[in-house]
Structure 1
Amino acid sequence: MTDVLSPIQQIVKAHRRGETVGLYSVCCSHPIVLRAAMKVAAVYDTLLLVEATSNQVDQFGGYTGMTPAQFRDYVQQLAREQGFPAERLVLGGDHLGPNAWQKKDAATAMANAETLIAAYAAAGFHKIHLDCSMRCADDPPRLSDETVAVRSARLCAVAEQSAAAAGLPPPVYVIGTEVPVPGGEAALADAGAPTAPSAAAQTLDVHRHAFMVAGLRDAWQRVIAMVVQPGVDFDASHIQHYAAQQAAELSAFVASQPGLVFEAHSTDYQRESGLHAMVRDHFAILKVGPAATFALREGLLALCQIEDELLPEEERSQLMRVLDEVMLAKPQHWLAHYAGTSEEQRVMRRYGLSDRCRYYWGEPEVAAAVQRLFANLDAREVPLPLLSQHLPEQYLDVLQGQLGTGAKELLEHKIGRVLAQYARACSRNTASLPEPAIC
């Protein structure tokens, strides 16, 4: 194991020696969200961990159209434009494994997964979540823990080789198979209870054994976290909040494992007090994504409502109508998530907590409508009463002279208020500090 600890390892080490400190992971590719995240990290003086998922970014482009190297360049360019320090920006890969190729046989899916993880490691993604929990076409209905662990070790070996060949520091790893459904459950009744400590111990043991058999002793020393279910989740309209007493045994288990913390997925929409409690209880890596794009969508809708008041109908962007038309024409990203009548589905498409509309902001028609909205509003002065009505939190900072009234600036501020909760939960001694302006 290298003697030089990466910034992520330093935070994990600080947490394990008793400091109430953690990491928040922003799982999003939208430039407005990422700029907001950089502003928050600058205000709170935190590390910024940006993660791409295996279906979002892969060797074929994923649904963003970006390979790992392209995503890296894209995020780093945003950071340069923001003046955000490169040394405080860390990239991570989430759910890296055969996820996108589950309909193929295991040999083909794992070969694709090897190429995927090699591309991530070579591009400098430092934090790698090894996730081989999903079954492939010729697998039994339920994979054994041993199979999952062996496949994860196989991918770890590829990541080690790829990072070394690129002259990069060795990655840190996250293991674990008990993962909430990415992006939230279809129904909260499907959500799981907190992981049993015995199940966490079994996951840890079989992975440790698989790594040792594969000759990955040094890499095992860089396994910093396990993904478990802490008892938090959400669906389209409900939130399962963190209950510390229900996760107490799980928290005690990880406290007995030197150098290890838990990674919590689907922490979106948790109360800020719950986020602080999770970090305290060793769920020290908090993943957030849909809550940030939900705030983006809320802000865009508010701007549309302001636009409606200021412009005749024929000059408006009609963004929300365009968005829904595109979602109806291409329903693959939301149809399985929103049940009910057509009217109930319409409401969830626009307002659902799972925020499936986040997959559509890059569609050409939607992107053009967003740009028209920005141009319409930035070409005129937005009256303060309309800001007060539709963006009241931003209005207050505008009054204080801490925020301008540009459309993107207002959106970044709104998203920043969500992400700031995570920064405070993960930062040293910020629990009682007043919230600074994110501008």
Structure 2
Amino acid sequence: MKLSFAKRACTCAVAALSLFGFGGCGSSQQSGTITWLSARPASEGSIKAIKQIANEYAKSHQGFKLEFQNISDRPSYNQKLKVLASSNRLPELWDADPDPYFAKLVKDGRAEDIGKLYKDIGVTNRFYHISTKYPTMADGSLHLMTFNANAEYFWYNKDAFRKAGIAEEPKTFDELLTDLQKLKDTGVIPIALDGKDQWPFYRFLGMIPYRETGNEFLAKLKVGKESMASPTGQAGIAFLQKMSAYFQPGFTNSDATATLNLFKSKRAAITYDGTWNLPSYVDDSGNLKSDIGYFRLPMLGKGDKTAPTDFFANSGIGTAVSKGKLTPQLKDFLKYLFGKYGDVALNDYRVIPSVKPKGSVKTPRIYQDVLSDIAKVNDYAQVWDVQLDANTVSVLGRQCQSLLVDNTSTHEFAANVDKAIAQYNKAK
């Protein structure tokens, strides 16, 4: 297979591409090389599993090479993706969320039909339900491959709970807030938060609305049929404010690594994240460390629209195939990849995969429990930073930070977010 970019006149956009490591005019791909622009870090288990399988495939397919370009900083990644898309220089494979920007690329004919691809290579029924449901577009079409099946939990330090006199994991939001105060009274940081990346803000903001309405509030909010000024919206804002009283000092500038270190060093009693960080919570044998526990999204305790088994679960960022670049060789490799990925990812790299393993599951109990939880999710909570457009998410992030340092009122917060959504819908 020979893959090449079409020659074209140099433009400012192409010049910009060179800054990101892509060649200028007339550049071409190596024969047999498939480029994957990835938003995942190279150290992530899913990437290691894919590389291992690609290396095995290359041994029997002369000239084949899979080349990753990893940009784990999401703003930088999103910028690069937009530059490449605007100048028609997208590589064979590229990561994307099923967000409004990706929906536009699909509408413009930039991504292959993954539902058809799965059917053609015979892997449709191999995926966990969440791994095909999460990336499905509003019209029911599927244009993203997925490699993870993630669940999000509150992870906690058992010793900190004992010292605070907390005998049971909180079942309701009121119980959670009560427990956080007990923890704070012992002198420990109640909950460590990755404020720099902002996504945890959106989770806490959406927890009450999700339990009250399922995904209905968010679905109506993004099309302007609901408001952050409504009782449900204000309840979400109020919960985020209450939670912020228990975050670590300087949480708005704390990144994922710093947040994880606070929890692992036991300076913080709780952290909220997903099973993508599970390797940090297990011992050398892959078992959950004895001093760590976890619990799912709490309930309202009264008037819940969703079940206790429904919570934030997703398949992580997906991967698109550029339209017109799904060659027979690429299709053959993807068939090979999905045939092995479930077992390699789960058993060799402790990754919760999108694909069900073919062989026996050799992983420890915690992984099997997570897979069981994911299988039981009927109505997963959709995430705000994927459902809302990029500009609204940017406004939302600024408003969250400003709200939590007392520079914005709840009504100003609501008005600014509603305004951003209205502007987006008007411009569509």
Q: TM-score range by the shorter chain?
A: under 0.3
Whichever structure has more helix as a proportion of its residues is: 1
Under a length normalisation based on structure 2, what TM-score does the superposition of the two structures give? 0.25
**Greater RCO (Cα-Cα under 8 Å, separation 6 or more):** 2
Under a length normalisation based on structure 1, what TM-score does the superposition of the two structures give? 0.25
